[in-house]
Amino acid sequence: MIYFDNSATTVVDDSVLETYNKVCKSYPGNSNSLHRLGIKSKELEDYSTSNIAKYLGVKSSEVIYTSGATESNNTVLKGVAFKYRNRGNRIITSHLEHSSIIETCKYLEKNGFVIDYVNVNSDGTIDLENLKSLMSDNTILVSIAAVDSELGVKQDIKSISKIVREYPKCYFHVDATQAIGKIKVDFNDIDFMSMSMHKIFGMKGIGLLIKKENIVIDNLIHGGKSSTVYRGGTPALPLIVSSMKALELIMPNIDKNYKYVEELNKKILSCLKEYDKVHINSTDRSIPYIINFSILGIKPETFIHAMEEEDIYISTKSACSTGDSSDSVYAIYKDMDISTHSIRISLSYKNTMDEVNTFINIFDKVYNKLMFKN
Ligand code: PMP
């Protein structure tokens, strides 16, 4: 199997799974119980939270556990919107965002909020002048992904933050789901940050929302005290500890892994560029982990299934997006043919050059078979 769909999810690391299993068996207590088993679990939870915070460069008190980035995104968008509707009713986001942002914005729109979509430049970066012109005293939140899931464009978070900081009543949320473990993200520039652990070889079912400790938002989930007051429910200790493990494995190696994946990326890109009907959608601002391209003349589903027959797994746009056309690709190229044919390869540091070479050979075979079948 060649797995090139790591932005959809990763295969859990053995040591992460082992950690999960051990905690399930050895720490049965609810960390909120007063007895010995509860205290033992609470100690491990606090230790894990402080390490998670350290890896992310944030405070323990800023970590909120969720079920994944979808919940983190819902929590911050709805939590800010409903808490601060007296301040204003405008939210700024972009067409590069994940469906968990876009769909939540549509829901908020039905509830009286106005969503402004900031323009993107031809390299996929946010148009900062347009952002400045959209900002107003009624804007309560700006939500932009550090790296989007389809094209992998890395945004200039510092510059966006500077613009948002001109408006003290407006918060800045960064969806860092595709960035964490791949590039460094500085939480100092940000008020809220979302992520999912299964994107970095962690377990499915846990994500984080990092929230500046002095900001109060409305709860999405009400219930008893969990790890924080922001999300009720028994703390998922095995998932929490396994998240610490996943971060421990990846965070110290960001630069090394980036350089390695860059080599894999270069090889694939140089091969794809040889084909007349291939349009490379990733830009020079895309991180090497994501390669987005369109094969004009072959339906992306047909191509993906033909590759699957060869035990190679790639993706048509993001696994969670809806509709045939990619809004992210369209936002940059304004071309329906390109945006309805987009395909995504997403790499990880665990992929090898051997896999890349096999991919290149099979790609050629499948491309020629489907392109020239008549
Ligand atoms: N944001 C981005 C940028 C993503 O790539 C994803 C996952 N595709 C999510 C949010 C949602 O993550 P999850 O499915 O783990 O909730």
Confidence (pTM): 0.96
pLDDT, position 239? 98
User: Dihedral sign, CA of 46, 47, 49, 54?
Assistant: positive
pLDDT, position 325? 82
Among all chains, which residue has been given the structure tokens 């968990």?
100
Q: Tell which one of 206, 315, 320 to mutate to probe ligand 1, the residue whose CB is within 8 A of the most ligand atoms.
A: 320
152 lines ligand 1 (CB under 6 A): no
Q: What is the pLDDT along the chain (374 residues), one digit of tens a residue?
A: 999 999 999 999 999 999 999 999 999 999 999 999 999 999 999 999 999 999 999 999 999 999 999 999 999 999 999 999 999 999 999 999 999 999 999 999 999 999 999 999 999 999 999 999 999 999 999 999 999 999 999 999 999 999 999 999 999 999 999 999 999 999 999 999 999 999 999 999 999 999 999 999 999 999 887 788 888 899 999 999 999 999 999 999 999 999 999 999 999 999 999 999 999 999 999 999 999 999 999 999 999 999 999 999 999 865 454 457 888 999 999 999 999 999 999 999 999 999 999 999 999 999 999 999 75
- The CATH architecture annotation of domain 14-251 reads 3-Layer(aba) Sandwich (3.40)
The Cα 339–Cα 126 span in angstroms is 19
Q: Tell which one of 5, 72, 149, 197 to mutate to probe ligand 1, the residue whose CB is within 8 A of the most ligand atoms.
A: 149
- Ligand 1 centroid, distance to 98 Cα (angstroms): 7
**Which atom of ligand 1 sits closest to the CA of residue 318?**
8
Q: Whose CA is nearest to atom 10 of ligand 1?
A: 69
Choose among 256, 237, 98: nearest CA to 176: 98
User: Dihedral sign, CA of 258, 10, 219, 223?
Assistant: negative
70 lines ligand 1 (CB under 6 A): yes
The Cα 16–Cα 244 span in angstroms is 9
328 lines ligand 1 (CB under 6 A): no
Identical fold at 2-9+253-361 and 14-251?
A: no
The token pair at 264 is 């894999």
Q: Dump the DSSP string for 254-313.
A: HHHHHHHHHHHHHHHHHHHTT-TTEEE---TTB-TTEEEEEETTS-HHHHHHHHHHTTEE
37-43 contacts: CB < 8 A, separation 24 or more? Answer: 41/235, 41/237
Class in CATH terms, 2-9+253-361 = alpha beta
Q: Tell which one of 101, 177, 209 to mutate to probe ligand 1, the residue whose CB is within 8 A of the most ligand atoms.
A: 177
Length of the chain: 374
**Which atom of ligand 1 sits closest to the CA of residue 8?**
8
pLDDT, position 79? 98
The Cα 254–Cα 266 span in angstroms is 18
100 lines ligand 1 (CB under 6 A): yes
Q: Dump the DSSP string for 137-185.
A: TTEEEEEEESB-TTT-BBP-HHHHHHHHHTSTT-EEEEE-TTTTTTS--
271 noted as active-site residue: no
DSSP code at position 5: B
Rounded to 5°, the CA angle 126-100-324 comes to 80
- The residue extents of the domains of the chain are 2-9+253-361, 14-251
The token pair at 306 is 């033909």
